[in-house]
């Protein structure tokens, strides 16, 4: 392949070598491609960092990342993401936060997968109290909806509600977005009475629910078998001038078919 120049996808080749445990061979190819200079160096470095993380060679992955920076090659958002996610999966949480802060300093926001990986990692390894403290202390809250989702999925409802209160005080995100995220999380956690209570609190505080706010509550109630409640909120949704989307309407019909029988669903 080298002699003929047949290198159609060096990233795929590097990935294959790492996946098969052929780390020395992958590093030789890395060196060769750097010398050849036909592919942007940031692409090659990032592929090697990702491969080393998948091979659980986390110190080597960090070393290569630093080498890239020291050689004047600027990591892009994807470079940071593959390293941070790899470190999270490997339980290297302090390192992952360090590189996430660098990512923010470089002007990049972590995507949903990266940020959720950080939250999940801290929830599992450090406990939520430290996760919450770390995120607040460093200002690492670029995607509060992702963080709320991570908390609810891990059963950390009290902590999610603390974050809800904190973000409402902070006032940097539209309140309808925060309220809707909490309603959705509570429904996923089967806390339907709490979900309804938060929805009513939103309305009582003068925050007008949008179509998505209604949809997440109605669909959540349907999945939880709370059919009378779901119909009540669907009527409110219509009164507010919103039409249920296909998923919401199908959820209502399916719920009634399962719980009430087909005849009542059609009546």
pLDDT in tens, 5-15: 434 478 888 98
Q: Is the pLDDT of residue 166 over 80?
A: no
Q: Is the pLDDT of residue 61 over 50?
A: yes
Q: Is the pLDDT of residue 162 over 70?
A: yes
pLDDT in tens, 239-259: 999 988 888 888 787 777 776
pLDDT bin (cut points 50, 70, 90) of residue 215 is very high
Predicted local distance difference test score (pLDDT) of residue 70 = 95
**CB under 8 Å to 178, separation ≥6 — which residues?**
144, 148, 164, 167, 168
Measured from the Cβ of residue 121, the count of other Cβ atoms closer than 10 Å reads: 23
Calculate what percentage of the chain has a pLDDT beyond 70.
80
Measured from the Cβ of residue 215, the count of other Cβ atoms closer than 10 Å reads: 23
Q: Which span out of 2-6, 129-133, 156-160 was modeled with the highest average pLDDT?
A: 156-160
CA separation for the pair 115, 229 (Å, rounded): 34
Q: Of 175, 124, 121, 166, give the one whose Cα is nearest residue 141.
A: 166
Is 244 a member of any domain?
A: yes
Is 223 a member of any domain?
A: yes
User: Whole-model pTM?
Assistant: 0.53
For the segment 44-68, the average pLDDT, to the nearest whole number, is 96
Is 229 a member of any domain?
A: yes
CA separation for the pair 111, 188 (Å, rounded): 22
Q: Is the pLDDT of residue 35 over 90?
A: no
Is 235 a member of any domain?
A: yes
Indicate the DSSP class of residue 142.
S
Q: Which residue has the higher pLDDT, 126 or 68?
A: 68
Is 240 a member of any domain?
A: yes
Is 233 a member of any domain?
A: yes
Q: Of 27, 7, 9, 32, give the one whose Cα is nearest residue 17.
A: 27
pLDDT bin (cut points 50, 70, 90) of residue 122 is low
Is 6 a member of any domain?
A: no
Is 77 a member of any domain?
A: no
pLDDT in tens, 219-234: 999 999 898 999 999 9
pLDDT in tens, 78-102: 999 999 999 988 988 889 888 988 8
Predicted local distance difference test score (pLDDT) of residue 142 = 46
Tally of structural domains, the chain: 1
Q: Which residue has the higher pLDDT, 224 or 151?
A: 224
Q: Is the pLDDT of residue 60 over 90?
A: yes
Predicted local distance difference test score (pLDDT) of residue 153 = 83
Q: What is the mean pLDDT of the chain?
A: 82
Within 13 Å of residue 147, how many CA atoms lie on the same side as its CB? 24
CA separation for the pair 14, 40 (Å, rounded): 15
Q: Is the pLDDT of residue 266 over 80?
A: no
Q: Is the pLDDT of residue 267 over 70?
A: no
Predicted local distance difference test score (pLDDT) of residue 226 = 92
Range of the domain at 212: 200-261
């Amino acid at each position: 392949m080298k002699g003929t120049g047949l290198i159609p996808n060096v990233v795929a080749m590097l990935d294959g070598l790492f996946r098969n445990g052929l780390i020395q061979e992958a590093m030789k190819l890395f060196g060769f491609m750097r010398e050849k200079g036909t592919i942007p160096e940031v692409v090659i470095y990032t592929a090697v960092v990702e491969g080393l993380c998948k091979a659980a060679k986390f110190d080597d992955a960090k070393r290569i990342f630093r080498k890239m920076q020291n050689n004047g090659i600027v990591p892009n958002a994807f470079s940071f993401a593959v390293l941070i996610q790899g470190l999270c999966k490997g339980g290297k949480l302090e390192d992952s936060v360090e590189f996430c802060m660098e990512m923010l300093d470089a002007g990049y926001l972590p995507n949903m997968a990266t940020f959720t990986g950080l939250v999940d990692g801290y929830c599992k390894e450090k406990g939520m109290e430290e996760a919450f403290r770390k995120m607040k202390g460093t200002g690492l809250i670029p995607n509060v909806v992702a963080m709320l989702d991570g908390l609810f999925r891990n059963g950390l409802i009290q902590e999610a509600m603390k974050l809800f209160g904190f973000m409402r005080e902070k006032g940097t995100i539209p309140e309808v977005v925060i309220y809707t995220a909490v309603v959705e999380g509570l429904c996923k956690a089967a806390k339907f009475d709490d979900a309804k209570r938060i929805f009513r609190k939103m309305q009582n505080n003068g925050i007008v629910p949008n179509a998505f706010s209604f949809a997440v509550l109605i669909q959540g109630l349907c999945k939880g078998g709370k059919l009378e409640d779901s119909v009540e909120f669907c009527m409110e949704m219509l009164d507010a001038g919103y039409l249920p989307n296909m998923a919401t309407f199908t959820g209502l019909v399916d719920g009634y078919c399962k719980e009430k029988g087909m005849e009542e669903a059609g009546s």
